[in-house]
Amino acid sequence: MVKVVFLGTSGSMPTPERGSSAVALVRGHEVILLDCGEGTQRQMVAAHIGFSRPTRILVSHLHGDHVLGIPGLLQSMTLQRREAPLEVYGPVGTAAFIQAFTSTLGGPGFPVTIYEIRKPGVIYDSVVYSMEVAEADHDVEAWSYALVEYPRPGRFHPDRARGLGVPEGVLWKRLQGGEDVELSGGVVRSSEVVDPPRPGRKVVYSGDTRPTEGLVRLAEGADILIHEATFGEELAERAEEDGHSTARQAAEDALKAGVRRLIITHISSRYQDVAQLESEARVVFPDTVAARDLMVVELPLRDS
């Protein structure tokens, strides 16, 4: 199960209902934090996300509302005697920012590795998923992130293998791995006994951005696109000036990218009621909801 936990959903200024930007992707035991605005650690406590799990922090850009939670989070992790290493990814300047507060507050009690992103593409690759980035279009260097799981092998049908006279054991393994096997009676193809691969899941986070083609490509076919929608249509000019998107523009990106669901976040404090933003987006992309703090979206494995 992948869980998407919205920790902070405000744009720029926090409100009583909305904290500064942060989203946690919880995948098994592992936590991937997409931005870490002020108050993120408190929201992690409220959402029962521990401080000692394998954790990666992905910083979209160096604006305070996206990074000021990192000092507090690192301090609490130290107080809780975290030993596991922590990885932080972000734009150029991320290392200087972290060094600035650790040099005065004291370093964390565990290793922190910082990777500054220089170009679009894959930034992390494990056996089961990769993390990819595309350049966002904000008023400072900014990145959008995608979690992309690899396809899983298709379902194996032991009854069919038996029926075709393949003895259980090493030959089954080879068929499961996609290989065809030769028996005295002829060749048994893997595709006869194994279903086609099942798609992995994909979650994409825009960070602060105007609409961009790079983000649309990154989000292609995503299960969930988390897109900022700071403003409504009446402030489209302001969004363009400040390097943000309207709810409608977020929906247009979702439609172009052919995603399954759109969740809008980074909502300006002027919108106490998000119904306007949701309805402007739904005209273009019906499967849209506005995030709220501590909202959890579960993403089960896909079978097709």
Q: Least distance to Zn ion from the beta carbon of 15, Å?
A: 14
Among positions 51-90, residues that touch Zn ion (CB under 5 A) are: 63, 65
Q: Is 238 helix (H, G, I), strand (E, B) or coil?
A: helix
Q: Are 105 and 77 in contact (CB under 8 A)?
A: no
Q: Select 21 or 148, whichever has its Cβ closest to Zn ion.
A: 21
Q: Which of 35, 65, 208, 253 is catalytic?
A: 65
Q: What angle do CA 223, 197, 159 make, to 5 degrees?
A: 135
| Closest distance to Zn ion from the beta carbon of 37 (Å) | 8
In the complex, the smallest distance separating the C-beta of residue 239 from Zn ion, rounded to whole angstroms, is: 12
Contacts 24+ apart (CB under 8 A), 25-32: 25/147, 25/203, 26/2, 27/2, 27/3, 27/129, 27/147, 28/1, 29/53, 29/54, 30/54, 30/55, 30/56, 31/55, 31/56, 32/56, 32/58, 32/131, 32/147
Please say which residue, 63 or 210, places its beta carbon nearer to Zn ion: 63
Question: How many residues touch Zn ion (CB under 5 A)?
Answer: 3
164-203 footprint of Zn ion as x/- string (CB under 5 A): ----------------------------------------
Residues 196-235 that bind Zn ion (CB under 5 A): 208
To Zn ion, the closest distance from the beta carbon of 171 in angstroms equals: 56
What are the C-alpha distances in Å from 182 to residues 166, 168, 187?
9, 14, 4
Q: Which is nearer to Zn ion, 43 or 129 (CB)?
A: 43
78 SS3 class: helix
- Examine the residue annotation and report whether 65 is marked as an active-site residue of this protein: yes
**Which lies closer to Zn ion via its Cβ, residue 268 or residue 288?**
268
Please give the positions annotated as active site.
65
Can you give the binding site for Zn ion, defined by CB under 5 A? 63, 65, 208
